């Protein structure tokens, strides 16, 4: 009997050695399968990290908060901006909301690198965020202790429209352009004694607005969605529509209306393929992914050590997620790479399967050649 057959012979000391090796292989495979379920490409620290927490980003402009206050950085030139709240880019121009009533800061292509100039509006509104749609700009502006909307055309006089009026207080946080106008997200604080709520502290409900503007009157709210107690923190454009991510639930807003996504999050962002990533609270062990119309849950290699507050896509396959105590980065292409643990295991499985099939075919061919039954 050949040496290798000794390991398969019954009632042989070799048999126990074979069984032990087989058991070890099974255990090792189970461990590798469990490890391969972890999301690949997760790293500590952010891609293109600043010395602080990034709170907004548009092109080469980065707004971040450091120990000595808020800074606005453009083309490597850093400026103190203690009251700044946003940066956005529209038609090749970068706009910054710097917190000065009646003013925006702008950077155009013909300016020197990192140079900002002041854009003076026709009224002293305090702009918190801004979004362009062709020659019209929609602004989230401070209105007492709440926020509302105002429009401005990019012409010589920069005339600001009247403010949008609404029952209850709106606390708006995000805005993006659409084919018909804009989508705006945030929360709505009910009036006192609304549905028996606490009169001293009425609850805030998730809020999504469909907004249009005729260029003259106040921006009009064409449709309103009010969700559960919470806040819409992010509006993310995808191939299926716009995802409104919130702390209570999320929505997919498309041509046919609103579809509820059973997802809660603190921050959300789309990757290069249009998939939306949802990040939960500090200590979360998973992230959710909206991909190809389905919700998938990915296990993190370790619990989140930060409270996610802002996420952005660097357009090179890397997502950065910032919190007040640090940041993480995710290489979104790594989970599909053959160099990941899952990829290596998939490749190994393919090779082993091919080897088994080749051996079977070889045995069949050998049996046919020698005239043996098979």
Q: Residue 362 pLDDT > 80, yes or no? A: no
Query: Residue 311: which residues within 8 A CB-CB, separation 6 or more?
Result: 234, 267, 268, 269, 277, 279, 319, 320, 321, 322
Q: For residue range 155-203, what is the model confidence (pLDDT) as tens digits? A: 878 899 999 998 778 999 999 999 999 999 999 987 766 666 666 677 8
Is the pLDDT at 86 greater than 90? The verdict is yes
* Residue whose C-alpha is closest to residue 171's, from 147, 145, 149, 142: 147
Give the domain ranges of the chain. Answer: 51-328
Tokens standing for residue 38: 């972890």
- Tell me what the mean pLDDT of segment 76-92 comes to: 93
Determine how many CB atoms are found less than 10 A away from the CB of residue 109: 7
pLDDT value at 268 more than 90: yes
Give the Cα separation of 24 and 29 in Å (integer): 8
pTM: 0.78
Q: Rounded to whole angstroms, how far apart are CA atoms 308 and 331?
A: 17
Class of domain 51-328: mainly beta
Q: Which helix H or strand E contains 172, and what residues bound it? A: strand 169-177
Rounded-to-integer distance, Cα 24 and Cα 20, Å: 6
The answer to whether 320 touches 308, Cβ cutoff 8 Å, is: no
């Amino acid at each position: 009997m050949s040496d290798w057959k000794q390991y398969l012979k019954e009632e042989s000391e070799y048999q126990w050695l074979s069984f032990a090796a087989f058991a070890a292989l099974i255990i090792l495979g189970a461990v590798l399968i469990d490890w391969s379920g972890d999301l690949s490409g997760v790293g500590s620290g952010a891609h293109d990290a600043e010395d602080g927490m990034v709170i907004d980003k548009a092109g080469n402009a980065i707004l971040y908060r450091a120990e000595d206050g808020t800074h606005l950085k453009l083309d490597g030139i850093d400026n103190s901006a203690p009251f700044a709240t946003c940066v956005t880019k529209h038609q090749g121009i970068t706009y910054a909301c710097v917190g000065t009533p009646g003013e925006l800061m702008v950077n155009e292509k013909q300016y020197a690198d990192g140079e900002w100039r002041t854009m003076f509006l026709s009224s002293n509104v305090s702009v918190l965020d801004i979004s362009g749609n062709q020659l019209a700009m929609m602004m989230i502006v401070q209105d007492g202790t709440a926020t509302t909307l105002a429009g401005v055309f990019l012409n010589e006089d920069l005339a600001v429209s009247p403010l949008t009026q609404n029952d209850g207080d709106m606390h708006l946080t995000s805005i993006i352009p659409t084919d018909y106008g804009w989508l705006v997200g945030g929360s709505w604080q009910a009036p006192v004694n609304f549905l028996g709520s606490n009169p001293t502290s009425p609850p805030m409900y998730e809020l999504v607005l469909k907004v249009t503007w005729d260029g003259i009157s106040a921006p009009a709210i064409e449709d309103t969605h009010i969700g559960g107690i919470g806040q819409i923190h992010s509006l993310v454009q995808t191939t299926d529509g716009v995802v409104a991510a919130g702390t209570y639930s999320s929505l997919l807003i498309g041509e046919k209306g609103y579809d509820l996504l059973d997802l809660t999050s603190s921050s959300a962002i789309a990757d290069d393929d249009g998939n939306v990533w949802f990040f939960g609270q500090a200590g979360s062990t998973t992230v959710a992914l909206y991909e190809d119309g389905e919700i998938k849950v990915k296990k993190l290699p370790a619990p989140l050590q930060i409270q996610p507050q802002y996420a952005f896509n660097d357009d090179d396959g890397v997502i950065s997620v910032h919190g007040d105590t640090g940041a993480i980065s995710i290489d979104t292409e790594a989970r599909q790479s053959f160099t990941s643990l899952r990829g290596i295991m998939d490749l190994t499985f393919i090779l082993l399967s091919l080897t088994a099939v080749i051996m079977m075919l070889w045995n069949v061919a050998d049996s046919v050649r020698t005239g043996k039954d098979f």
